[in-house]
Structure 1
Amino acid sequence: MRDDHAVITTARTKPDSATVAAVDVARAALLEDVPAADVGEHLGHVVEGERVVTHLFACERAGYVGWRWSVTVTRAPRQKVVTVDEVVLIPGDEAIVAPPWVPYRERIKPGDLSPGDLLPVDDDDPRLVPTYLVGDDPLDADDKAQVRQVAKDLGLGRVRTLSLEGRELAAQRWYDGDAGPEAPLAKSAPDSCTTCGFLLRIAGPLSEMFGVCANGDANDDGRVVSFDHGCGAHSEVRLAKKHEPVPLPEPVFDTLTPDEIETL
């Protein structure tokens, strides 16, 4: 047992001397549930509140390096007896724990979908808005059904379209990705896509920043690229003379006959 144990205060409360000193009480309660071989030295205590203290003990159990036994004790007002609230095993700063849970929908990355896979979007996805909005209030189930019917009757084909937020997210993702100006391919390019003859213009609000590459020899063929992107397959690229292939010599016409070869 250590007398110089650490003290951590989590509340603006004067430490209660009885609960702080109840190290033996906490250890005894711990040993009722845990083999003695699994309990190490006293690591300190945490003041949780008024007359509530948690004592920490090292965990010696195999496979639990960096974990700590936590025993919370308390004392009722005007009582001298310290009682035990709970005994739990908690991870310390160096403990190996499972990574934070990430919902399945957020774990999916571009390229993860296989043929036949479905990835539905939520009705309230902020990236999409109804093609026609009914009133200024949020749409209820009946209004959404009406929007779908109106869009279908008008032959629009799309019930929802990109919202301003969805458009900005897409533009930022494209610009920061491999088809933007910071890609290694673009940084070493002789010129930008905006002057390339293979750039196809697109319509809509993103037409001032992006186009589609139509060069079948380029890495970005068929992909959206930013105007300040670039690659070595630019339409106006010309090789310097030192990089041009060496011309072949003039062909020689062989006039020797088989009979002439035998006399040589």
Structure 2
Amino acid sequence: MALPARAGKPDSVLAKAVELARSVVLEVAEPTDLGDHLGARAEGERVVTHHFSCTRPGYPGWYWSVTLTRAKRGKDLTVNEVVLLPGDEAIVAPDWVPYKERLQPGDLSPGDLLPVEDEDARLVPTYLVGDDPIDTPLDGDARAQVRRVAEDLGLGRVRTLSREGLDMAAERWHAGPGGPEAPLAKSAPDTCWSCGFLVRLNGSLSMSFGVCANGNANDDGRVVTVDHGCGAHSEVKLARKQQPLPLPDHVHDTVVDDELEPL
């Protein structure tokens, strides 16, 4: 087990107090949870921490840590703390991530709500700036006025994508399964640029992205890059060796009622 590095030479009196440190651990743990002494290290002047392996089931890689100290020229030892700590190979819970950051595409169920913050850099007021980002952020009163005017005029969307929002979407789509690096695209006979099933997007993304409208394709209804591709390209042709073999004629036609000639 990799323990913290030494911080200087430990106090000799405290370093020898292994049994005292062991007895302190036994006050909070069962004897079967305490393993071998792993060593001692100096935390500071007359402050030493002893480490013991942990044998408690379910805690591989953890260790007991007992910190002792004493006064200058004092003989009485004082226990600062005793804790159970994870080592480098210990099984620990993953770092906590806020719920909003843990959400992935497809996680929302019917009825779930995911509010967007007012200061979200991906959005800007629609009727003031159109599709262009604004230089100075609006205060609370201005944002409320934008909402009221947009509702009164029937403009529909209060906010629209900012330049940052467009760039983030473009990067995500380009790196996703509809991008040029997808395994499906690398084995495709041609790109979506020349496919008749590609429906181009409007605006600044029109030259780079579109939506697949081929019901037989894996990407049907999804955003794809123009340099993406798949085997369902509108102009793809089968080679002669890839075409199905023609079926032979029927030995006996069972569709009509022609009588068989007697032998």
Q: Provide the TM-score with structure 1 as the length reference.
A: 0.82
- Evaluate the alpha carbon distance shift between residue 153 and residue 17 of structure 1 in structure 2; reply closer, same or farther with a 3 A threshold: farther
- Structure 2: which amino acid aligns with 1:68? Y
> 1:17–1:147: structure 2 CA closer, same or farther, 3 Å change rule?
farther
How far apart in 2 are the matches of 1:198 and 1:170?
22
AA of the residue aligned to 2:201:
I
Mapping of residues 17-32 of structure 1, within 5 Å: 17-32=12-27
Amino acid at match of 1:9: R
Over aligned residues, Cα RMSD in angstroms?
3.0
Structure 2 counterpart of 1:227: 226
Unaligned runs of 5+ in 1: 1-5
SS at match of 1:216: coil
1:8 aligns with 2:5: yes
Q: Which amino acid aligns with 1:61?
A: R
The 3-state SS of whatever aligns with 1:73 is strand
CA distance in 1, matches of 2:138, 2:13: 60
Q: Distance in 2 between matches of 1:7 and 1:237?
A: 63
Q: How far off its partner does 1:21 sit?
A: 3.2
1:120 correspondence with 2:119: no
Query: 1:189-242, CA deviations, whole angstroms, 9 ceiling, x for partnerless residues?
Result: 111011112211111121121111122222212211101100111111122223
1:144 equivalent in alignment to 2:125: no
Between the aligned partners of 1:229 and 1:248, the Cα distance in structure 2 is 36
Q: Could you tell me whether the CA contact under 8 Å between 2:184 and 2:230 is conserved in 1?
A: yes
Structure 2 residue runs without a partner (length 5+): none
Q: Is the 1:40–1:57 contact (alpha carbons within 8 Å) kept by the matching residues of 2?
A: yes
Question: For residues 38-78 of structure 1, what are the alpha-carbon distances to aligned partners after superposition, in whole Å with 9 as ceiling and x for unaligned?
Answer: 32221112333333222111122333332211111123345
TM-superposed CA distance for 1:124, in Å, is 2.7
Match of 2:33 in 1: 38
Distance, in Å, in 2 between the alignment partners of 1:192 and 1:143 is: 46
**1:104-253 aligned within 5 A:** 104-131=99-126, 132=128, 138-247=137-246
Identical columns (%): 65
- Corresponding letter in the other structure for 1:74: T
